Amino acid sequence: MERFYVKPEGFGPDRVRFSAGQVKYIRKVLRLQEGAEVAVTNGLGQAYLCRLRFLSREEAVGSLVSPLREDNDPGLKVVLYQGIPKGDKMDQVVQKSVELGVAEIVPLITRRCVVRLEGGRMEERRQRWQRIAASALEQSRRNFLPPVREPLSLASALQEGRGDSPGGCPGGPGGGSLAFMPWEEEQSLGLWTFLEANPFPREVRVFIGPEGGFTREEAAEAAAAGVARVTLGKRILRTETAGPAVLAMALYHYGELGRGERP
């Protein structure tokens, strides 16, 4: 069944109003008629079976038939702090990360970031990434729309995790907030070993560098803030590959992707 994300303000007590772009897609691509049924979600966790009751060239309105009892979102919260890459690579990171199950995406400004967008231009880019996230939500049949937050400096991002359980201590207690940073100069602590030593986190925070990775100074700052530096093995991944790949590894390890229910 086709699924649509509709902003919460598009919902009424028993009906939903689709956007102009969705009207065009419903009519021209799907070629649906009045009476057809689709799924709609508000991105806040609620999804409904919806029956198209009015359809014209400019407008589409549906009746909410019944809630959909489904839970397609991971129970584990994974936040991706992604160093902003060049060009449109961030588009791919957002799309694939949302499909896989990320909870939040934070564009990260680091020393080796080439992109320098100021004021309104950065907000335009962030809104574009949020639209891509909404499209990926529809594709993956999720009900919670991951926010693409305003860009943060690495120092500000590290400050967010202070006070949580330490993420850089293999064998540390479970139940806290883990934080780790794949870093090409790390040789001893592998990602699998780190995750195995922390079996039941309530949240995982992943830091991915831009092209060129993190500097040694940044890696030291992260370690001082309790972020574990881990190795992914012998191969060096591109920044647009690393985020989705590590996200998939973490979700799989904790039973949220391809391994049945999380304990």
Q: What share of the chain in percent tops pLDDT 70?
A: 91
Query: In whole angstroms, what is the distance from residue 166 CA to residue 188 CA?
Result: 18
Cα dihedral: 23, 29, 31, 36 (round 10): -60
pLDDT at 259 over 90: no
pLDDT tens digits for range 107-141: 999 888 877 766 678 889 999 999 999 999 999 99
Across 64-79, average pLDDT: 92
pLDDT of 77 reads: 95
Task: For each of the domains in the chain, give its residue range(s) and CATH number, in order of start.
Answer: 3-67 (2.40.240.20), 77-253 (3.40.1280.10)
Number of Cβ atoms within 10 Å of the Cβ of 188: 8
* pTM for this prediction: 0.88
pLDDT of 7 reads: 94
pLDDT tens digits for range 36-51: 999 999 999 999 999 9
pLDDT tens digits for range 221-239: 999 999 999 999 888 899 9
pLDDT of 173 reads: 39
pLDDT tens digits for range 146-198: 999 999 999 999 998 664 544 443 333 345 889 999 999 888 999 999 999 99
Residues 6+ apart with CB under 8 A from 65: 37, 48, 49, 50, 51
Q: H or E segment at 181? A: strand 177-182
86 and 115 Cβ atoms separated by less than 8 Å: yes
Across 88-104, average pLDDT: 96
Residues 6+ apart with CB under 8 A from 100: 140, 244, 247, 248, 251, 257
